[in-house]
Amino acid sequence: MITIQDIQPIVERYIADTDMFLVQLKISADNVIDIMIDSPNGVSLDKCVELSRAINETFDRDVEDFELTVSSAGLDQPFRVFQQYLKNLGKEVEVVLKSGKKLKAILAEATPDTITLTYDVLEKVEGKKRKQLITKTESYTLTDVKSTKPIIKWKD
């Protein structure tokens, strides 16, 4: 059976000296290998095919029967690694907190421990009859975040 320790060095060699990073590497008990990579500028199909070939050339299919999928991180998938937060700085994201609160906000800052979000909310302002649109900036620890994913906006 192929292990993560067999595959990870191949992936790391392939992405070394590039702006790509590993998002996910899973191997099932049935030898189904799932690799997800990303980069600040996205990952082309050609890059996924090249990595797939590098892995296929390393293992003998007569000895190891395996299924391999190499893909880029999906636009609608939750973030799995810190680099995805960095990739999406300044962009609109949907954050679900473990408390159940859901926020649509701009990802203003990210550290390995916290994220800072900026969003607009209607609030009652003293001396005003109607609620006013207020811009809030709040920080959350990543341990309080259940999921974060980008918001996709299609141009009109």
Average pLDDT over residues 70-99: 94
Q: CA-CA distance, 21 to 109, in Å (whole number)? A: 20
Span 102-121, average pLDDT: 97
pLDDT of residue 98: 97
Q: Strands 67-72 and 92-97, how do they pair?
A: unpaired
pLDDT confidence of residue 156: 59
Residue given tokens 């994220």 in the structure block: 115
Residue 97 tokens read as 């907190």
- Other CB atoms within a 10 A radius of the CB of residue 103 amount to 17
pLDDT of the residue at 123:
87
What's the pTM value of the predicted model, to 2 decimals?
0.86
pLDDT at 25 over 80: yes
Residue-level pLDDT at 63: 87
- Dihedral sign for Cα atoms in the order 121, 102, 142, 15: negative
In angstroms, the Cα distances linking 120 to 92, 99, 140 are 12, 20, 16
Q: Are 121 and 72 in contact (CB under 8 A)?
A: no
**93, amino acid identity:** V
Greater model confidence, 52 or 156: 52
Question: Can you say how many angstroms the Cα of residue 132 is from the centroid of all Cα atoms in its chain?
Answer: 34
How big is the chain, counted in residues? 156
How far apart, in whole angstroms, are the C-alpha atoms of residue 15 and residue 52?
12
**In one letter, which amino acid is 5?**
Q
Q: Give the separation between CA 69 and CA 78, rounded to whole angstroms.
A: 19
pLDDT band at 1 (very low <50, low <70, confident <90, very high): confident
When the pLDDT of each residue in the chain is averaged and rounded to a whole number, the result is 93
Maximum alpha-carbon separation in the chain: 77
pLDDT tops 90 at residue 125? no
**Which domains can be identified in the chain, with CATH numbers?**
4-72 (3.30.300.70), 82-150 (2.30.30.100)
